């Protein structure tokens, strides 16, 4: 049985060998193909080509018998480059040339039988292929392309920006597709222009890339809304990257107004002095920006140096006094709330309390929507923006909150005017302005500042304070400077085209610095100094609720504002402002909303310091 199986196996093997030999002999060899296809290119050029090691039937498949093929009875199958170049073919399926033009490989890779590796640099070779169809002057040779052809290997060729076999359709792209392309091309521009080695070799500056990232366009692009801002190619028109001195450049002074009008439909011609790369080139705008930055830095340093020192010294002295009183037994620690059935005095009206709540809500909205743009490169920026529903919705909430804050400011201004001129009576306005019920500074405030610093160092008692303290007056007056600076600059950034009818475009650059730095000053001041003065100071920690309840005890008034208490008693007006203590729901709201605001502010402060220290 085994012997018969062995013989059968030998016969099967022999049959297969004869069949394979006959099949191989039936398929034409390269020499046989060239006996008929005797073009010089096919005979002498093919062996030296990149496909020279392949046989003809590697590409021209389906030729089973040379005789039937020679007679014309059997033609070869269509050539499929994808049989070997699978990865490239897969990418090319989505290429704009394949999708819209139905172009085959051979349309670009011509003379395929004699094609060799070009002796020219790859960028030049690619560009020469592209300009067979695309006009050389309009596409490849304006700016980057001309530098490539002159031998600059750092300059971008067609494939550096568009890729090779997976080019996306640029013309006609809208919506998210256009936004994706804008972001992709901007990142490709920055990959070269932010490279210090490339910049050094070509006598360029990476500041071009860095300063774009500092603009509104660059920041919004980083947090993910490229649909609504300009990328590099929007201003530099993609292929026309000529210097602005060239009359053909879209950035030439004669062309710039038309170029800007593409996006900014409403604008004056003076808008073109706006610097899209602020400070990258030294000139008039650079000097103005430099002076604005110096001013804002001095303002920040001055305010924080004084008030952070003031805060630290106050905390130290108040904490030491509290520890001494506790040690002496004057303070009994208790976790249980103390309920007292006694009259309290009204400090804030219902209107003032509502205004303060609206102020808190609008302020947190402004910080929560604005600072992710200011620090767009941080890890938390995009997360926070997405909480609002994306950059566009964050911007919408930011503007609504800004309008609420402006309305509060205008109403406060109206109340101030009514305080100074009751019933439009001018007589006595100066005494009201400098009186104890006014929030305008007077000589008593200077004396209180000196007295506080003496108390900080144990050189005297804490000064006797009146209705408004000097730090509360600073908070109030800072609103007038802050709202003028941050409000006016904010409207400039909101409507840059309209404001160009009033101011030149480079003022918008100044507005960007003022708006950003003043916002930083306001947020950090509120979350550090204001929070400490009103809530974290040891005798009030963790919360002073009277801004929410509107009332506090007579004992608290006598201790914190003795001059006001004595004046009200002397004038017989203390009983007029006595009220019942706040109800349960009012106290609950004050605790939850107040502590929640305090915690949220400290979290935002931590994110801001994280950005400042690590980014």
Domain ranges of the chain: 25-81, 285-319+342-614
For the chain, list residues with pLDDT below 70: 1-29, 40-43, 118-120, 138-141, 171-174, 282-284, 329-342
Residue in this structure with the two tokens 């809530």, named with its chain if needed? 535
The helix (H) or strand (E) run that includes residue 345 is: strand 344-346
Model pTM score? 0.83
Angle between helices 350-374 and 584-614 (to 10 degrees): 20
Between CA 493 and CA 487 the distance in angstroms is 10
Summarised one tens digit per residue, pLDDT across range 551-585 is 999 999 999 999 999 999 999 999 999 999 899 99
Between CA 374 and CA 520 the distance in angstroms is 9
Cα-Cα-Cα-Cα torsion 564, 568, 569, 572, nearest 10 degrees, comes to 180
Angle between helices 379-387 and 584-614 (to 10 degrees): 140
> What Rg, from alpha-carbon coordinates, does the chain have?
39
DSSP bridge partners of 553: 344
- Residue 65, pLDDT score: 76
Answer whether 435's CB lies under 8 Å from 464's CB.
Answer: no
- Residue 210, pLDDT score: 86
- Residue 478, pLDDT score: 93
Please report the DSSP string for 492-537 in residue order. Answer: HHHSHHHHTTTS-THHHHHHHHHHHHHHHHHHHHIIIIIHIIIIIS
Angle between helices 391-420 and 350-374 (to 10 degrees): 140
The pair of three-digit structure tokens given for residue 574, joined into one six-digit string: 């203390």
Phi, psi at 500, each rounded to 5°: -70, -15
Contacts of 499 (CB under 8 A, 6+ apart): 491, 492, 507, 508
Between CA 76 and CA 303 the distance in angstroms is 84
- Residue 29, pLDDT score: 66
- Residue 336, pLDDT score: 42
In SS3 terms, 95-125 reads as CHHHHHHCCCHHHHCCCCCCCCCCCCCHHHH
Please report the DSSP string for 576-601 in residue order. Answer: GGEEPPP-HHHHHHHHHHHHHHHHHH
Choose which CATH entry (3.20.10.10, 3.40.50.620, 1.10.443.10, 1.20.950.20) describes domain 285-319+342-614: 1.20.950.20
Please report the DSSP string for 237-286 in residue order. Answer: -TT----TTSTTSTTSHHHHHHHHHTT--S--GGGGG--SSTTSS-SHHH
Between CA 147 and CA 196 the distance in angstroms is 19
- Residue 22, pLDDT score: 44
Give, as one character, the DSSP assignment of residue 495: S
Contacts of 544 (CB under 8 A, 6+ apart): 534, 535
Summarised one tens digit per residue, pLDDT across range 461-511 is 999 999 999 999 999 999 999 999 999 999 999 999 999 999 999 999 999
């Amino acid at each position: 049985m085994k012997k018969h199986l062995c013989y059968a196996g030998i016969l099967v093997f022999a049959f297969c060998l004869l069949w394979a030999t006959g099949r191989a002999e039936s398929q034409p060899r390269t020499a046989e193909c060239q006996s008929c296809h005797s073009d010089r290119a096919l005979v002498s050029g093919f062996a030296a080509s990149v496909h020279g090691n392949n046989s003809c039937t590697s590409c021209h498949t389906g030729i089973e018998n040379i005789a039937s093929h020679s007679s014309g009875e059997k033609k070869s199958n269509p050539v499929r480059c994808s049989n070997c170049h699978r990865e490239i073919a897969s990418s090319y399926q989505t290429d704009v040339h394949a999708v819209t033009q139905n172009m085959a490989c051979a349309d670009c890779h011509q003379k395929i039988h004699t094609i060799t590796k070009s002796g020219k640099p790859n960028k030049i070779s690619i560009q020469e292929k592209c300009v067979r169809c695309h006009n050389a002057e309009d596409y490849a040779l304006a700016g980057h392309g001309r530098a490539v052809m002159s031998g600059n290997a750092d300059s971008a060729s067609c494939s550096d920006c568009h890729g090779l076999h997976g080019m996306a359709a640029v013309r006609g792209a809208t919506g998210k597709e256009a936004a994706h392309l804008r972001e992709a091309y901007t990142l490709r521009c920055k990959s070269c222009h932010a490279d210090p080695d490339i910049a050094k070799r070509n006598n360029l500056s990476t500041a071009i890339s860095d300063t774009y990232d500092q603009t509104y366009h660059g920041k919004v692009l980083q947090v993910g809304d490229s649909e609504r801002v300009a990328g590099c190619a929007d201003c530099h028109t993609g292929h026309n990257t000529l210097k602005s001195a060239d009359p053909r450049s879209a950035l030439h002074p004669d062309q710039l107004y038309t170029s800007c009008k593409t996006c900014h439909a409403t604008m004056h011609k003076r808008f073109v002095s706006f610097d899209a790369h602020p400070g990258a080139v030294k000139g008039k705008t650079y000097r103005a920006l430099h002076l604005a930055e110096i001013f804002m830095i001095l303002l920040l340093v001055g305010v924080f140096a004084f008030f952070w020192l003031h805060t630290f010294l106050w905390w130290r002295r108040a904490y030491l006094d509290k520890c001494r009183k506790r040690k002496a037994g004057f303070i009994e620690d208790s976790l249980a709330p103390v309920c007292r059935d006694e009259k309290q005095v009204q400090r804030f009206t219902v209107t003032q309390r509502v205004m303060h709540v609206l102020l808190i809500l609008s302020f947190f909205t402004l910080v929560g929507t604005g600072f992710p743009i200011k620090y767009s490169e941080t890890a938390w920026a995009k997360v926070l923006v997405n909480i609002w529903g994306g950059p566009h919705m964050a911007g919408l909430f930011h503007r609504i909150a800004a309008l609420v804050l402006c309305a509060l400011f205008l109403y406060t201004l109206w109340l101030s005017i009514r305080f100074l001129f009751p019933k439009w009576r001018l007589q006595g306005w100066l005494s009201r302005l400098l009186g104890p019920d006014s929030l305008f500074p007077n000589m008593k405030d200077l004396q209180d500042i000196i007295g506080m610093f003496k108390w900080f160092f144990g050189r005297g008692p804490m000064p006797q304070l009146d209705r408004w303290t000097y730090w509360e007056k600073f908070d109030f007056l800072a609103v007038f400077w802050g709202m003028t600076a941050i409000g006016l600059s904010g409207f400039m950034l909101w409507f840059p085209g309209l404001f160009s009818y009033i101011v030149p475009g480079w003022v918008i650059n100044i507005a960007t610095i003022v708006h950003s730095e003043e916002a930083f000053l306001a947020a950090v001041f509120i979350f550090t100094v204001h929070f400490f003065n009103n809530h974290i100071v040891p005798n009030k920690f963790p919360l002073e609720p009277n801004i929410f309840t509107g009332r506090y005890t007579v004992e608290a008034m006598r201790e914190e504002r003795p001059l006001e208490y004595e004046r009200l008693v002397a004038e017989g007006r203390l009983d007029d402002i006595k009220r019942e203590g706040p109800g349960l729901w009012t106290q609950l709201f004050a605790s939850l909303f107040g502590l929640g605001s305090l915690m949220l502010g400290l979290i935002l402060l931590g994110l801001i310091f994280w950005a400042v220290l690590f980014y």
